[in-house]
Amino acid sequence: MFLGLDIGTGGTRAVLVNAQGKLVASASADHAPFRSPHPGWAEQDPEDWWRAAKQAIREVLEASGAKIEAVGLTGQMHGAVMLDVSGEVLRPSLIWCDQRTEAECEWLHNAIGRERLIELTANPALPNFTLTKLLWVRNHEPEIFGRIAHVLCPKDYVRYRLTGAYAMDVQEASGTLLLDVAHRRWSGEVARAAGIPEAWLPQLFESQEVCAKISAEAAELTGLFAGTPVVAGAGDQGAGAVGMGILEPGSVSATIGTSGVVFAATAAPTRDPLGRLHTFCHAVPGRWHVMGVTQAAGLSLRWLRDTIAPGSDYDALTAEAAGVPAGSDGLLWTPYLLGERTPHLDSQARAAFVGLTAGHTRGHLVRAVLEGVAYSLKDTFTLFAELGIPVKGVRLGGGGARGPLWRRIQAAIYGYRADVLVAEEGAAFGAALLAGVGAKGWPNLEAACAASIEVAQQIEPEAAAVGRYAEGYKAYRRIYPALKGIHG
């Protein structure tokens, strides 16, 4: 058996996958809600991740009684975990959705040059990235900054507690803004310019490489055997792509969770000179990926449900939306509840319903949200076309793949055949496959995915809806500039 462990935002999930690539058991443990002491701030306690990881591992082992051959880790990306020389946490982690670092982003662009930063790291400075969070601590909490000896991301902190090793994979490291993405190594130039000692940064590995072993102390706490190999793993997007078989150039996924991500594998690092897409190392050695991010994708639907129909079932709401024609009778939704990343790079962007009339119903509101999230993700496909990134089809994942209406909406708006998998098990599943390759259970990731992934349904875009959505997308694209004129 291979164990995959996903340190998410809301909780930690552990899964066991057997040598045939089948999910055998899973267990989850919730995290405490992230703290937001000021608007736009988001912090979590790394010790709470470790508590949840221990709980999830013990439960999945008790449920299966299996012996684990290797462990793979994944989790929320970009979070800054700061440790002192003895490995103690110095402050709560600033996590991926923290938006407090606009001034630090501007400073980086001025200090290094925006174009030079993209040349070095394949990405511009954004509030989400780890480096900007470290700079905020330097500017606002210098006594903490002065005690930093190690910097990790969330899943890598859990690895440290499991093994005592300071390690990170190149896919995760791509989201720190400290990696030379093209050459898969730390960027000394960026670290020096930002004033970050390279000694703080962990050793780098490819995602399937064994980088550590379970310690005797962690074995006693979790039920794993001491000495069990641990592979480097990947951030949630990289591991999730492995779990969906997005390995070869031309393969693309569109995953809707709290946020939404369109992810494409590439044979070489493809930079967007304007920085609207993220370019990262893939979890597959020798490959890269580009991705666009919608900050509030599934969150938009949850917000609408909690606001206008608290306690209602999502299926009941989408059933109402299914009775509304494609295009929602002119009602549009821009899902900028948390600002926006792709393509606007604007943490101050604001959400809006546009085109409301007295004739619109609750079903219209729900359908407009489903369509608006898909329009936002369509922006990434538009950038792929602009940059010559091939798309052969789209695999749907996350909550957006579970409802038949949202599947059809996505296929028609993206304009590609959409595949739905028999079992889309998320990033933890991909981490388990990485562990399996590291333990020689499969010769490579291609073989692991061939054994474990099966397409359940293929959805062709509905011709009548495609035309309506093409017009709707043109209107959608005009909303952001108008809103920016209002909100500055």
Q: Residues 167-183: pLDDT tens digits?
A: 999 999 999 999 999 99
Cα distances (Å, whole numbers) of residue 459 to 248, 287, 419: 21, 28, 6
Q: What is the CATH number of domain 245-423+454-488?
A: 3.30.420.40
pLDDT over 90 (residue 64): no
- Mean pLDDT within 210-221: 98
Cα distances (Å, whole numbers) of residue 449 to 36, 73, 422, 428: 39, 17, 13, 14
**Averaged pLDDT score across all residues of the chain:** 95
Q: Which residues contact 275 (CB under 8 A, 6 or more apart)?
A: 114, 118, 123, 124, 345
Q: Kind and range of the H or E element at 43?
A: strand 43-44
Q: Which residues are catalytic?
A: 236
Q: What is the pLDDT of residues 65-106, one digit of tens each?
A: 889 999 999 999 999 999 999 999 999 999 998 989 999 999
Sort 88 into a burial class: Cβ within 10 Å, 0-12 / 13-18 / 19+: exposed
- Residue 345 confidence (pLDDT): 86
Other C-beta atoms closer than 10 Å to the C-beta of 405 total: 16
Query: 2-238: which CATH topology?
Result: Nucleotidyltransferase; domain 5 (3.30.420)
- Residue 488 confidence (pLDDT): 60
Distance CA(132)–CA(195), nearest Å, equals 12
pLDDT band at 348 (very low <50, low <70, confident <90, very high): confident
Q: CB of 1 within 8 A of CB of 18?
A: yes
Spell out the domain ranges in the chain.
2-238, 245-423+454-488
pLDDT over 80 (residue 472): yes
Q: What is the pLDDT of residues 268-296, one digit of tens each?
A: 999 898 989 999 999 999 999 999 999 99
pLDDT band at 145 (very low <50, low <70, confident <90, very high): very high
Nearest to 5 by CA among 77, 57, 61: 57
Q: What is the pLDDT of residues 474-488, one digit of tens each?
A: 999 999 999 998 876
Tokens of 404: 């038949």
The percentage of the chain sitting over the pLDDT mark of 90, rounded to a whole number, equals 91
Distance CA(375)–CA(396), nearest Å, equals 15
- Mean pLDDT within 125-137: 96
Q: Which residues contact 389 (CB under 8 A, 6 or more apart)?
A: 264, 266, 270, 290
- Mean pLDDT within 300-304: 96
